[in-house]
Amino acid sequence: MSKPLNKDKRLEQAPAIHPTGWNNPPALTDLKADLTSAEADHSNVVSKVVKWEENLKGTLSAEVKIPKNKSTIQPKLIRKQAEWRYSALSEPFLSSVNIFKADPVTYEDVRAAKQNELVLNHQFNNKLRKVPFINKYVRSAVNKGTSIIKTGWVYKDKVEKVIEPIYQFEETDDEQYIAYLEEVIQAYQADPITFERKQDKYVVDAIQLSMADGVPYIPVQIGEQEVDKVTVIANHPTAEIRPLRNVIIDPTCEGDYTKANFIIDQFESSLSALQEAGIYSNLEYINIDNASPLSASTTELANPSSFMFKDKPRKKIVVHEYWGYWDIDGSGVTKPIVASFVGDVLIRLADNPYPHGKLPFVVVPYLPVEDSVYGEPDGELLEDNQKVIGAVTRGMVDLMAKNANGQRGVAKDALDYTNLKRYKAGEDYEFNPNTHPERAFFIHKFADIPRSAEYMLNIQNNEAEGLTGVKAFHNGISGGALGNTATGVRSALDATSKRDLEILLRLAEGIIEVGRQFTAMNAVFLDEPEVVRITNEEFEQIDSEDLAGSIDIRLTISTAETDNAKAEQLAFMLQTTGQTLGLEMIQLVLAEIADLRKMPELSKKIKMYQPQPDPIEQEKAMLEVELLKAQIQQISGKAYESQSTAILNQTKAGTEQAKQKMLSSTADKLDLDFVEQRTGTTQARELEKQGEQARANMALAALKESISKLK
């Protein structure tokens, strides 16, 4: 590496960076002009943050003049309130295994929404170190009033020379191999991801080729070759909580960081780290001594260390990373760019590499301030209360310190020298009868603290709890600390939970924006298939092509109080209607209660539960079914028999009616014959019949005679 150059020589020799297609690239002076113009507004913000941090630590202000030999104690009221706030805001993010929920905008985006949801939760849980990230995110907001998240993408791989065999695939009729192939195909179809992890690539290729052509192929090694094997070590998005002091935001953005024309991030690095990144140039022109954090003339960095490496590759330097918009082609329309410089050397100038085209920052205010991107912490509200509590507490300590508690005094004429030694040794002694012991001996005690001091402390603590909505239990943790009645306690908790939820929604919106930026980057940068664990036994492989689509991202978080209220309502619903609900509905309600109680494993078991029947009960049920069938058959037989009997009886009734009719007709005929015989009608009819027969016979004889004559 060349020797450090002086400023003028360095500016002359450092080549300008002119990206392809940029007709109007920004000069280093243009970028530093934005930095210089914004430093005044940024310094005002930093001064407030410094004051809030000192109050949080309980550091006495320089304005408070403490006389010599007086107490300097400062109770940490702000810190006490913040400690109760940390867990309340962190728990909703950390208690849920999967906090991201992706909803499709159209029907075609259903698969993309599901895949993005799986990838986001996987990356957030396993790539970002979720617990430290959320803790730092919440504490930055609570302590400093603002959290700034910087997103990015990390890619690392390792290339090594390996000897790999060369295979070609041939058709085969080996029955033993075909049987083996059928078994491995079944295993591959059952779980392709696990199979590919455990098997060699040529085995997987043979299976896929055999399945595609429907012909068994066997791999045959025909040689070896040396190839470069690329192993991907890291390929995922990143999110980092940046110190508020180190990030300078465009002061003209009118309180909306998404409208900022630039955001400058200042961070410590080294020549070795910059060289390893592979995206910087002109590193040999950097003056290491003038670019160290301790000698930097720009805005003070957060917590600069006095330790410095002596060797140049590791020696810390301050890098300014400029993210903003610039008219790079002279068309009058700005485009997103990124530039980095160290001192007076520009080391990077390029297009914004991220596909979302935004500045890779998310700014989240704790308590919003009108027309400002920065928020305020609770410490801004509690500053006066902490000062008053500190003054009263120091007064009480000074009052007690003026008393020699436990010190004993003895009247000079009460004891002689010998008895005084016995008294000090704790032995029996003789005292002068002229002086009563109650007046001769005196034990010093602490002076009573006035009730007004305790009253003043209670007023300040109560006012502090009223300002923040945080019950810090300054009188101790007890059931009566929240109220004397159940209604009062519920009202206090409801009011507190609403205030916590309002803060939580702002923090959640910041994480949602991070998720949106992750989604845009995943669709472009996620080259290798991502394997996501759904359960302990179930995995899913996701390709970047599956992530394209229009989706809405939201967080499945809520406060413990709201979850508890919902769980109690569902439990009451089960108590009142559980007897009439079916097993399926009861399972749904119980699973929802388990989710609200942050028991995802129990919720899954409830959803998947299928009651196993008792063999005895099952056999009893079968017998009961058979008994019912037999009873039905018996009843059906009786019904058929009754129906047949009814038909027979109906037939018999007709027969009897016919018989009755026949008997009636016979009786009528007999009566008629009797009458006709009595009146001679029968005889007359008989004589008439005989006369007609005689006449017919005579006519027949005459006819026959006529016929004979004709012959």
For 135-160, what is each residue's pLDDT tens digit?
999 999 999 999 999 999 998 888 88
Write down the pLDDT at residue 79. Answer: 92
Burial label, 551 (beta-carbon count in 10 A; 0-12, 13-18, 19+): buried
What DSSP state is assigned to residue 358?
A: S
Instruction: DSSP for 74-101, please give it.
Output: ---HHHHHHHHHHHHHHHHHHS-S--EE
Which of 78-92, 187-201, 283-297, 419-433: highest mean pLDDT? 78-92
Please provide residue 558's backbone torsions phi and psi, each rounded to the nearest 5 degrees.
-165, 170
- How far, in Å, are 11, 32, 153, 331, 479 from residue 322 at the CA level? 19, 9, 17, 21, 54
Query: Which of 326, 316, 312, 323 has its CA nearest to residue 295?
Result: 316
Write down the pLDDT at residue 243. Answer: 93
Whether the per-residue pLDDT at 537 is higher than 70: the answer is: no
Q: Are 328 and 25 in contact (CB under 8 A)?
A: yes
Write down the pLDDT at residue 593. Answer: 82
| Residues linked to residue 351 through DSSP beta bridges, in sequence order | 337
What DSSP state is assigned to residue 514?
A: H
More confident residue, 449 or 535: 449
pLDDT band, very low/low/confident/very high, at 375 (cuts 50, 70, 90): very high
Whether the per-residue pLDDT at 455 is higher than 60: the answer is: yes
More confident residue, 366 or 415: 366
pLDDT band, very low/low/confident/very high, at 2 (cuts 50, 70, 90): very low
